[in-house]
Structure 1
Amino acid sequence: MSEEESGMNLADALSGRAGLKGVRWLLLGAEPREVLRHELSALLSAPGMLGASHLRHAKFRVKPDVKLSAYFDVSIRARGSGGQTRAIAVMWKPKWRAEKVAAGWATPDVAQMEVEALRCGLAAPFRRLTARVPGWRMYIQVSPLDPCFPQLVRASDPEHVQNMLAIAKTSNGGAPGRRLASHYAVTSIKYQPGQRHVLRYDSAEAGGETIFAKLYKGEEGSRISTVVTQVADWLASHQEGVACLRPLGQAPDEAVVLYPLLTGTPLHQSLRRPGRRTWRHLELAGQALSVLHQAPQVAELPGPRSFEAEITEVEHKCDFVPLLLPSAGAAIESLIGRARDLYERLPQEPPTFTHGDFKAEHFWVNPRGLTLMDFDASGLADPALDVGRFLADLALWYAIWQQPGLKQGQESFLAGYAPGASRERLVRARLYEALELVRCTGRRLSLFDRDWAGRVRRLLACAAALLDDLTAGTRRMRPSAGTRLSKRRPIGKPLRRRGSL
């Protein structure tokens, strides 16, 4: 047992009183890992089948209840099949009451999904897909179980996938494409019960296509598919070198939207070794965002999203940070207060279409240029929000990769976006950049990173410096009440690439 683990108390770790050490102990400590392995082994059909586990992601939340969630990929040794990898989710809550939780886990929906998974052979080699460990306040779920997404079991069944793809192709107007394979292997790419799921379908036939399935709740998938198609058409007619990842189709009854395999490299990876090619890609990203912000009315968009809504989300994402790093609490509260005060002095403008999660990870570099994906958070909002989030995203990746050149990277992006953009919009973008840096402390930094505390402090310091600069530059600005900016000049001819990639 390491010095960090010795004397660790479960109640203190779960409540957050033990700070970051307590959370790291639950995620990485020898004793909690041994308990998890024991429970997973008990769910399997035979002893000795459990292999290594890999922690992919973890989230800690304080409101409305303290909860730690962790997502693992677990290797399973299966005789004669070469083994497999299974996604699992583990959740700890300090205030669960055993009798209440037991009743909640024994709902008909959970039981029915388990029965269906067992019948289809999707559970094997697991005998059960859930387990609770009251002594450790722990609940385990094994894919493809999620009562919040009842279609997940069917969407994971290879026998059902072929029919679903045929329906989706019909819903897309019988769009031409490769012939559907007779069988698809299914892999869980993202398994986060209650939140989101992404599946990968690989054709069993040589040279067959790969398809990705994104699951939604209710009619949300149909709405997103419509939005992406409209935005992709607009971008294609006004921008060269950047395209949107278009849906292949959707299966409305399953609330599933299908996408093709996206080849290339995520843009954020090129920030490891930035150069002229990277600067050009960042400029293209700025041009594309400028075009998107000038898109005509897009159907079924939520919003408009207010500045106060953004503040609320930042506070929610960062609610646990002061608990694990007390010195950060006052800093976050001060930064949010300063941002709110500064925003009231800035001129505003009408909302436009916004991507909502505009960052380098959602651009992929390929021989044709860039492909933009993931419009799930799109809606009506201040266009400065997208600009600020991308600037903060660049700052985060340059810090992670420990590379110089952030200023040149941000300037390249703004060189593509800024022509025609008002100064006031760019000032608000810097304000949103500072807020996004604060939000990154709770949303983007890995809890099991040994330098988590140091990175939190550095991000907050960067946000503070930004607000200092903005405050100094806007002291004489008038209050924003009733102030509106004129619309940007309309797009004329399609934007053309300058030079080759």
Structure 2
Amino acid sequence: MTLNLADALSGRAKLEGIQWMLRSGAPRRALRRKLSSLLAAPAMLGPCQLRYARLGPGCTLTAYYDALVSIEGTKGYGARPVAVTLRPDGDDNRHHGSADLVEIQAEAVRHGVAAPFRQLTADLPEWSMHLQVAPLDARFPQLVRWSDPCYARDAIAGACAASEVARDQLPASHYAVTLVRYRPAKRHVLRYDPLETPERGTVFAKLYPSEKGERVHRVATQVAEWLGDHREGMTSVRPLAYVAEDAVVLYPRVVGAPLCDYLRRPGPGVARCLERAGAALHALHSLPQAVAGPLPVHDFAAEIREVARDSAHVPALLPTIGAAIGALLDRAQAVRERLPQEPPTFTHRDFKCEHLLVAPGRLTLIDFDRCALADPAYDIGKFLADLQSWFFVYNQQGLEQAQERFLAGYAPGAPTERLLRARLYEAVQLVQMTVLRARLFEHHAAYRIERLIGRAQAVMNNLQSVLDLTRSLVNRKQPAAISG
């Protein structure tokens, strides 16, 4: 099959076309030439490492790279995040926000965070590419300022002074800045490691495009206090401060490794962690609404719409799998009508292994961006789906035992109907995780997606079997009708 740009970006060439755009020599060489032209001499471009790629609405392909740059007078390479957007020909939204980008780029130069790049944005019309180099983002103009170690130092010091943080969390006088997550128009996370005074501790900054940051700060603070009083052995990260003028939440570094790292070699210690995670989640679902404060409501219909949106590109790339996803979401809505419901509670809505940090004697929960009032079965199902995903990735045995340990920690006192609904959410969430985590540029991407969607179908089949068996038993117990 002869591939070309139009077929690849329109979806006509399916997954093979996307992989051609991301991996083949011609587009990669064009990208390297353009990035090299943006550098000021004598800086030199090294390898460009593709980290993640996603096909979004309108067949917009976004790829995220770490461009390794060699700078004179330094050893080795420094990594610079780059976002590359590829749109079908004729898309007239490519330059949306270009005037803002010029202004933000000028600010980056003033703050000294553009170098060694002379320019932080460029287009390759012949490849329908638009490039953005960190810290450029029109939706998050504050990212430039927070990439400047001097600005960040002063802002952290002022925020911590106003918040009266503990002595061991006092800000340092100098920081090394690392952009941990660069997702233009979506999210950014920065890390500040103290220089000269390491005892001061590392600080993380999470940026928001609106007042949502204030809500996240409030919820995370309240949950940390409540868990501290009600859940021994399980804590959550407490923010250091909220910088309102920049919509930035500051966090301390949390000691520990993500639970998913331990799933590579699950053992008795992991089983105990899973039980504690279940017990902690049950405690979270008991959190009074007055403690968390006002929260958005997320219902099952909204969940189905969200998953359908995130998987909308799959039919174009993998038609058979796309059809299977559509059928599964239809089944999920039908099955949900057969299940007893309960009032919404506080939910984390991103309760997964990556957000549980394991340290000797405790678990720490992080990331409260998605908290809402929702069905508590959502969190249970998401964690079960997350275990499915990690056990598949690691090619590990013992998935059922791991899920049982988690449910053993959660289940005491939990309604049986909630655990049934959790299996429904497990199937739906496994679909969403699969399409969002898919590494489209890898050779075996289609195989992994197909296998994981098959697992979601199996979860749904098992749930329907349980419901059918329950209905059959109930019908048998009904008294026979008496004829006249």
When normalised by structure 2's length, the TM-score is 0.93
The equivalent position to 1:205 in structure 2, one of 191, 196, 215, is 196
1:264 maps to 2:256: yes
Per-residue CA deviation, residues 196-241 of structure 1 (Å, 9 max, x unaligned), is 0000111111424211110012211111011011111111111111
Displacement after TM superposition at 1:177 (Å): 3.1
Tell whether the 8 Å contact from 1:321 to 1:441 is kept in structure 2 after alignment: no
| Aligned counterparts of 1:328 and 1:250: Cα–Cα separation in 2 | 43
Describe the SS at the equivalent of 1:465: helix
Tell whether the 8 Å contact from 2:295 to 2:372 is kept in structure 1 after alignment: yes
| Aligned counterparts of 1:232 and 1:79: Cα–Cα separation in 2 | 46
Q: Which residue matches 2:453?
A: 460
The equivalent position to 1:46 in structure 2, one of 41, 44, 63, is 41
1 or 2, which has the higher helix percentage? Answer: 2
| Aligned counterparts of 1:279 and 1:299: Cα–Cα separation in 2 | 30
Per-residue CA deviation, residues 284-343 of structure 1 (Å, 9 max, x unaligned), is 000000000000114444332111100001101111111111111221111111110010
| Aligned counterparts of 1:453 and 1:194: Cα–Cα separation in 2 | 28
The aligned length equals 468
Describe the SS at the equivalent of 1:258: strand
Tell whether the 8 Å contact from 2:97 to 2:138 is kept in structure 1 after alignment: no
The equivalent position to 1:395 in structure 2, one of 384, 388, 392, is 388
The equivalent position to 2:88 in structure 1, one of 73, 84, 94, is 94
Displacement after TM superposition at 1:453 (Å): 1.2
The equivalent position to 2:102 in structure 1, one of 77, 94, 111, is 111
Describe the SS at the equivalent of 1:346: coil
| Aligned counterparts of 2:239 and 2:208: Cα–Cα separation in 1 | 14
Per-residue CA deviation, residues 27-52 of structure 1 (Å, 9 max, x unaligned), is 12111110110000110112661011
Q: Which residue matches 1:490?
A: none
Tell whether the 8 Å contact from 2:43 to 2:71 is kept in structure 1 after alignment: no
Q: Which residue matches 1:290?
A: 282
| Aligned counterparts of 1:149 and 1:363: Cα–Cα separation in 2 | 28
Tell whether the 8 Å contact from 1:75 to 1:86 is kept in structure 2 after alignment: yes
The equivalent position to 1:26 in structure 2, one of 11, 14, 21, is 21
1:447 maps to 2:427: no
Displacement after TM superposition at 1:477 (Å): 6.8
Q: Which residue matches 2:365?
A: 372
Q: 1:433 to 1:461 in 2, by over 3 A?
A: same
* 1:343-362 equivalence runs, <5 A: 343-362=336-355
Describe the SS at the equivalent of 1:273: coil
Q: 1:244 to 1:7 in 2, by over 3 A?
A: same
Q: Which residue matches 1:482?
A: none
The equivalent position to 1:37 in structure 2, one of 29, 32, 37, is 32
| Aligned counterparts of 1:462 and 1:179: Cα–Cα separation in 2 | 48
Q: 1:242 to 1:454 in 2, by over 3 A?
A: same
Q: Which residue matches 2:225?
A: 233
Q: Which residue matches 2:400?
A: 407
When normalised by structure 1's length, the TM-score is 0.90
Q: Which residue matches 1:60?
A: 55
* 1:186-205 equivalence runs, <5 A: 186-205=177-196
Aligned-pair RMSD on alpha carbons?
1.6
Tell whether the 8 Å contact from 1:14 to 1:92 is kept in structure 2 after alignment: yes
Q: 1:8 to 1:288 in 2, by over 3 A?
A: same
Displacement after TM superposition at 1:178 (Å): 4.3
* 1:172-191 equivalence runs, <5 A: 172-191=163-182
Tell whether the 8 Å contact from 1:41 to 1:47 is kept in structure 2 after alignment: no
Displacement after TM superposition at 1:176 (Å): 3.2
Per-residue CA deviation, residues 409-453 of structure 1 (Å, 9 max, x unaligned), is 000000000000011000000000011112123112221232211
| Aligned counterparts of 2:234 and 2:154: Cα–Cα separation in 1 | 33
Describe the SS at the equivalent of 1:380: strand
Tell whether the 8 Å contact from 1:171 to 1:251 is kept in structure 2 after alignment: no
The equivalent position to 1:148 in structure 2, one of 139, 150, 155, is 139
| Structure 1: segments with no counterpart, 5+ residues | 1-5, 479-501
Per-residue CA deviation, residues 126-177 of structure 1 (Å, 9 max, x unaligned), is 1100001111110000011101001111111111011101121033235433
Tell whether the 8 Å contact from 1:169 to 1:175 is kept in structure 2 after alignment: no
Between the aligned residues of both structures, percent identity stands at 50
Which amino acid in 2 is paired with 1:346? L
| Structure 2: segments with no counterpart, 5+ residues | 472-484
Displacement after TM superposition at 1:472 (Å): 2.0
Displacement after TM superposition at 1:179 (Å): 4.1
| Aligned counterparts of 1:301 and 1:416: Cα–Cα separation in 2 | 28
Tell whether the 8 Å contact from 1:247 to 1:257 is kept in structure 2 after alignment: yes
Displacement after TM superposition at 1:468 (Å): 1.7
| Aligned counterparts of 1:238 and 1:364: Cα–Cα separation in 2 | 19
| Aligned counterparts of 1:207 and 1:312: Cα–Cα separation in 2 | 46
| Aligned counterparts of 2:14 and 2:153: Cα–Cα separation in 1 | 48
1:419 maps to 2:426: no
| Aligned counterparts of 1:347 and 1:141: Cα–Cα separation in 2 | 49
Q: Which residue matches 1:486?
A: none
The equivalent position to 2:113 in structure 1, one of 104, 112, 122, is 122
Which amino acid in 2 is paired with 1:470? L
| Aligned counterparts of 1:97 and 1:404: Cα–Cα separation in 2 | 47
Which amino acid in 2 is paired with 1:42? S
Q: Which residue matches 2:11?
A: 16
Q: Which residue matches 1:489?
A: none
Tell whether the 8 Å contact from 2:165 to 2:240 is kept in structure 1 after alignment: no
Which amino acid in 1 is paired with 2:212? E
Which amino acid in 1 is paired with 2:373? L
Per-residue CA deviation, residues 215-272 of structure 1 (Å, 9 max, x unaligned), is 0122111110110111111111111111101111121111111111122211011111
